[in-house]
């Protein structure tokens, strides 16, 4: 039986004396945000252009009405991402412009993650979780990848914060703010529906302000009809449904392997490293369950709801979920991992700070090493010979990419793939995917 107060309603004070000061916490979060922003600014064009980035720019060249017709009625997917692509394209921006947007959302996700983690587990754990997220390949790569994933991370994190605020304060205004935040998450990525579902499960289990919550969820269901429709369009394109066992996921074993890959891309994907990480996170869940049970429940809902969805879903031959699709779970996994580090260190009060710093330092080293292993160009830049080869190839197709500005000059109408060498975004190593499968946005 969960007897502790629901997070967001009453802040637990049992470990308040052991928390870092508010000034240190804010300084640490600001430092992490600045470090992420600096890295993304310097490495903005280090990763070579990808055809999905050029697709967004090409679609964005259309009129706003034409863009919405294409995304909502034909393509399906993430209308908010394409709206930002439309703004970039009509502002004269190119690859650099769309990547700047992704970088801005990724940097903004750092303080948002810190705020959510502090609400769930206190300032010390929040600061440790923010450090871990700031070095995560999942955040850094999608900060320079001009697609919707950093936007999705930010909007989903804000929606969880808004939910906790609504549960604490109640009232029409608080629930309206939550409704706006979660609709933005739904508009950012089709998996926003899983974010909404996870929050719904949590509210039903928490049973706090249930009448207000039911009215707010009903309003989101009605206001979100255009997004549910575009999600159905995308699901139809990729043969996604409910029931039966698809060709990529569906069995408990394949889902567990997929979740292991997700945890690996959150931290470090080598088997030995991710095994240690998962054990620490499990210990963190036990600690959180004991000290802040409703926070633990929210983390379980955020991770467990998509797990249940994958077990129930029928995924067609062209569908292969990848680790980035669960980017919204990154803050919760970081909280569990940080809890598993901070709480044992507090058993030795005199040495807790150096122990926490040592553990975080070791994890940062393996996180960076995994990132370099997975996408070396993100950290060291693309070889000059490869850049020259791409420019030569794009010149023959009538499309020239300016590596410095990311803008393109089209002599003739070209397909998106002609704008860049065919380079797939990195897949999760060992993920239960079908060779040659295509992943919906």
**Structure tokens of 376?**
């070396």
Q: Could you tell me if 120 and 298 are in contact, meaning their C-beta atoms sit under 8 angstroms apart? A: yes
Residue 420 clears pLDDT 90, i.e. is over it? no
pLDDT (mean) for 250-257: 82
**Listed residue (145, 147, 153) closest to 109, CA to CA:** 153
Q: CA angle, 231 as apex, 225 and 235 as ends, to 5°?
A: 145
pLDDT tens column, 332-383: 999 999 999 999 998 888 888 999 999 999 999 999 999 999 999 999 876 6
In this predicted model, which residue has the larger pLDDT, 51 or 107?
107
Question: Quick one: pLDDT at residue 5?
Answer: 56
Question: Quick one: pLDDT at residue 135?
Answer: 97
Global confidence as pTM: 0.84
**Listed residue (424, 420, 435, 441) closest to 58, CA to CA:** 420
In this predicted model, which residue has the larger pLDDT, 290 or 68?
290
Q: Give the ranges where 292-436 is alpha helix by DSSP (H).
A: 293-312, 330-345, 352-374, 376-380, 384-396
- List, as own/partner pairs, every contact residues 164-169 make where C-beta atoms lie below 8 angstroms and the sequence separation is at least 24, other chains included: 164/7, 164/8, 164/116, 164/119, 165/8, 166/8, 166/209, 166/212, 166/213, 166/216, 167/6, 167/8, 167/9, 167/203, 167/206, 167/208, 167/209, 167/213, 168/8, 168/9, 168/10
In this predicted model, which residue has the larger pLDDT, 232 or 3?
232
Q: What is the mean pLDDT of the chain?
A: 82
Any idea which of 103-112, 245-254, 307-316, 328-337 has the lowest mean pLDDT? 245-254
Q: Give the ranges where 397-441 is alpha helix by DSSP (H).
A: none
Residue 244 clears pLDDT 50, i.e. is over it? no
Q: How far apart are CA 238 and CA 440, in angstroms?
A: 7
CA distances from 435 to 126, 247, 319, 352, 427 (A): 39, 11, 10, 47, 11
CA distances from 395 to 52, 74, 391 (A): 20, 31, 6
Q: How far apart are CA 153 and CA 55, in angstroms?
A: 21
Question: Quick one: pLDDT at residue 8?
Answer: 53
Residue 235 clears pLDDT 70, i.e. is over it? no
């Amino acid at each position: 039986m969960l007897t502790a107060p629901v997070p967001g309603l009453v802040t637990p004070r049992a470990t308040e004396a052991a928390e870092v000061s508010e000034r240190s916490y804010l300084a640490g979060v600001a430092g992490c945000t600045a470090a992420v922003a600096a890295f993304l600014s310097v490495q903005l064009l280090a990763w070579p252009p990808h055809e999905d980035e050029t697709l967004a720019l090409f679609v964005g060249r259309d009129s706003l009405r034409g863009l919405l017709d294409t995304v909502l009625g034909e393509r399906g997917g993430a209308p908010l991402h394409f709206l930002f692509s439309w703004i970039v394209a009509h502002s004269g921006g190119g690859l650099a412009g769309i990547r700047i947007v992704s970088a801005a959302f990724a940097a903004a996700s750092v303080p948002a993650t810190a705020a959510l983690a502090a609400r769930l587990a206190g300032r010390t754990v929040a600061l440790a979780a923010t450090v871990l997220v700031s070095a995560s390949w999942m955040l850094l790569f999608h900060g320079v990848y001009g697609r919707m994933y950093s936007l999705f991370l930010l909007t989903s994190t804000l929606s969880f914060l808004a939910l906790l605020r609504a549960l604490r304060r109640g009232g029409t205004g608080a629930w309206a703010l939550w409704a706006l935040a979660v609709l933005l998450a739904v508009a950012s990525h089709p998996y926003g529906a899983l974010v909404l579902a996870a929050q719904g499960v949590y509210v039903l289990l928490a049973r706090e302000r249930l009448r207000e919550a039911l009215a707010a969820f009903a309003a989101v269901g009605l206001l979100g009809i255009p997004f549910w429709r575009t999600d159905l369009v995308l699901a139809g394109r990729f043969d996604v449904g409910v029931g039966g066992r698809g060709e990529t996921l569906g069995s408990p074993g394949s889902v567990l392997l997929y979740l292991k890959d997700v945890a690996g891309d959150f931290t470090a994907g080598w088997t030995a490293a991710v095994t240690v990480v998962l054990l620490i996170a499990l210990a963190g869940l036990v600690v959180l369950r004991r000290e802040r049970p409703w926070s633990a429940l929210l983390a379980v809902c955020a991770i467990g709801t998509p797990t249940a969805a994958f077990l129930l879903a029928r995924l067609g031959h062209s569908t292969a979920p990848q680790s980035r699709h669960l980017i919204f779970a990154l803050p919760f996994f970081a909280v569990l991992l940080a809890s598993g580090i901070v709480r044992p260190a507090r058993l030795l009060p005199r040495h807790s700070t150096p122990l926490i710093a040592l553990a975080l330092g070791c994890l940062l080293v393996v996180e960076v090493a995994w990132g370099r292993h997975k996408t070396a160009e993100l950290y060291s830049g693309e070889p000059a010979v490869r850049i020259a080869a791409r420019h030569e190839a794009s010149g023959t197709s009538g499309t020239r990419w300016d590596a410095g500005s990311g803008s393109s000059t089209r002599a003739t109408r070209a397909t998106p793939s002609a704008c860049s060498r065919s380079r797939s975004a990195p897949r999760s190593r060992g993920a239960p995917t079908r060779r040659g499968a295509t992943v919906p946005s």
